[in-house]
Structure 1
């Protein structure tokens, strides 16, 4: 029973993850663009550079950064993710994170150890701030004058010894969003399917940097490479670029434009809700990673029609299976669809929203598995087959078709 519940949950969020899940990774890359110049630095090996990142113990910094994301999302998906700036609307951080999956955003960042971080997203004169100060996490939307608050007295009392235990709260996710942690996670996940090398030197935010380059060893991935610019002096990752196999500008280009490694003043992390602001208390048991954008997609009439009114619950005993490894990993999910894509396409009485949803999925494909549609972005692609199977991963359309043929 528990296993079925787990697979149904995975199926329920499969398409949202394909469209919007990358947003969390985008925020994790917070620390944009390299200054001109290739400084002359002593030669290092990839292993030495990895060790330099791992040994870096910098926990105090402040500065400004840019996050530029170009996923090539279809119009429908862009609308569901919420275009425009991060300010305005709910102050819940989950709602803001998804909006970083599109466009360019300016961020001010400050950190003083694992218990104090602050991220401020600036769009014009409006700002959204996410502040972690000890046991308190605050989200403040200046445009809407709304405040979101979460208190973690238990986590604060347990201290560092309890990191990694229990459910992840917003404060934990902010700590994991540091550029140091991001780089370490990427390097840990690299594994045998990745070629790691040292690229050209660079200057980022006026600081000399080495560039660590990670590339998939095998074809089929939409990712061409990941470049991590590492501060030559202290080993702090200063910029992360995610480059597409198909070329063009980076899918994600996130890095410091200005950085200072001095200790930020204590009042940087102080926050009191402004007079008249609406304050919402966060729930300790609220499901992480599920914002308004997920609910908007799962209730979309077209998706409802595709799954016979069941959303993506996989309510008919759906099953999730992981195919491949490393950069070429594909998730195969049985959605338990009540109607085939052809049924929707040929049904004159089907809601117009359903057909709009089908059109947004992109071109038709066929193979030994039958027929289906591909939802395409520059990073994550998804194949929905006519019989209700979903194949999703950071892989090419051809790789999805091949997987569907082999696992029909």
Structure 2
């Protein structure tokens, strides 16, 4: 128990990676060449076209390429050393989709996807000759790992898609498609946002308009969001998120092949192979809670963003406060637990701090800054966390103002 409590005091920096993953989301990448000659359209008309899109059937292939600017391999090793859990050195990846699909936050991946309305979706992650498939068919969600021959099964909540079984969103969209990303960005757009149409593109052989979204505010780490929208049916085909740091896009996600006709019913049929190990979702969840060295929950509304880590984060005196608005919004979390000296930290965590934490000081005192290309977080030595898609200076200014 003492070791468990000690480990919990060092989990906030690990949570930063979870924030980055949630902010970016789990998404699809790629585009074809050639700019089609299409009728002119205003940004307002294109947004209305996206809103009116009612695509419920499709199949195809997409690629996701993600570059958070974060040493995720070292992070994974650190987590494995602290938790002794799956995915670390010597461990095996979980077949649970809520854990397995987090690998999409790093590197490039190819996926196949199919959808037939709100009741049937299938996503297959390709890794060489191995495949990991996630299937939602009516009341059931199945996941199958061809490498380990393991099967995960869980009952789907009413109205949930394949992702909804684990994250709770309602709707007909595929997990992490450009449409989901576009909807979230457009929903958040307001006076702080510039939205324009910037030419056309060919994506997966389809004619598309390019919608460009940029922050008007200074201090955001987001340079732009570009959404390629199908000119015929308004379905977003490609999503590109770029950072003010430049270089590769943080997320470059889009279809390489897409067909909007109805997939065969057999595409969503799954039967566990003979001899496969089948794990029921409820049983795995209970086992995970029993063996979790961190336990506990985050403040309400941030559990998903932080990946479910960190006892003590829900026991803060001040809870969560939102500072600012629009693209420069910062979440302030008072953990209620001062950060101990790093000489007390487990060696795995010490390496983690050294790999992507920078010491900063100011009128607020001192703390450690954890950086990605989009989401940054400042952990002060007195136990406060400032996190957002904002620059280092914006976080330090918020901490200084909070004193």
Note whether the superposition's TM-score is higher than 0.5.
yes
> 122, 125, 128: which is aligned to 1:121?
125
Match for residue 331 of structure 2?
331
2:230 counterpart residue number: 231
RMSD: 3.2
SS of equivalent residue, structure 1 residue 191 = coil
For residues 283-323 of structure 1, what are the alpha-carbon distances to aligned partners after superposition, in whole Å with 9 as ceiling and x for unaligned? 39969xxx99xx68889xxxxxxxxxx84435353522111
TM-score (norm 2): 0.82
Aligned residue in 1 for 2:50: 53
- Where 2:74 maps in the other structure, the secondary structure is helix
| Superposed displacement of residue 12, structure 1 | 11
More moved, 355-364 vs 110-119 = 355-364
Structure 1 regions of 5+ residues with no counterpart?
1-10, 300-309
Following the alignment from structure 2 to structure 1, what is the Cα–Cα distance between the partners of residues 192 and 312?
31
1:73 aligns with 2:77: no
3-state secondary structure, aligned to 1:71:
coil
CA distance in 2, matches of 1:321, 1:404: 12
1:227-266 counterparts in 2 under 5 A? 227-266=226-265
Matched residue count? 366
Alignment of 1:187-198 (within 5 A): 187-198=186-197
In structure 2, the residue matched to 1:405 is: 400
Secondary structure (helix, strand or coil) at the match of 2:179 reads: helix
* TM-score, normalised by the number of residues in structure 1: 0.81
Q: Is the 8 A contact 1:27 1:97 kept in 2?
A: no
Q: 1: distance between equivalents of 2:42 and 2:284?
A: 45
Partners of 2:108 and 2:154 in 1: how far apart? 28
SS at match of 1:363: strand
Per-residue deviation at 1:328? 0.7
1:390 to 385, 395, 399: 385
After superposition, the C-alpha distances for 1:130-171 in whole angstroms (9 at most, x for unaligned) are 00011111011111111111124x72xxxx6xx79xx95349
- Worse-matched range after superposition: 94-103 or 173-182: 173-182
8 A Cα contact 1:38 1:201, kept in partner: yes
Of 2, 16, 19, which residue of structure 2 is paired with 1:18? 16
Distance 1:298 1:285, change over 3 A: closer
Whole-Å Cα distance in 2 between the matches of residues 297 and 202 of structure 1? 47
Q: Is the 8 A contact 1:231 1:237 kept in 2?
A: yes
Q: For the Cα contact (< 8 Å) 2:182–2:227, is it kept in 1?
A: yes
1:148 lines up with 2:152 in the alignment: yes
Residues 358-367 or 57-66, more deviating: 358-367
Query: Which of 82, 92, 96 is the matching residue for 2:96?
Result: 92
Q: Aligned equivalents of 1:405 and 1:171: distance in 2?
A: 35
Cα distance 1:281–1:209, how it changes in 2: closer, same or farther (>3 A)?
same
Give 1 or 2: higher helix fraction.
Answer: 1
For residue 31 of structure 2, the aligned residue among 28, 31, 34 is 34
Aligned-pair distance for 1:90? 1.8
What is the 5 A alignment of 1:103-118? Answer: 103-118=107-122
The 1-side partners of 2:267 and 2:209 are apart by 31
Q: Distance in 1 between matches of 2:359 and 2:100?
A: 33
Per the alignment, in what secondary structure is the counterpart of residue 148 of structure 2? coil
Q: Does 1:271 align with 2:270?
A: yes
Quick check: 1:231–1:238 contact (8 Å CA) kept in 2? yes
Name the SS for the 1:65 alignment partner.
Answer: strand
Q: Distance in 2 between matches of 1:403 and 1:171?
A: 30
SS in 2 for 1:18: helix
Structure 2: unaligned runs, 5 residues or longer: 1-8, 81-85, 297-309
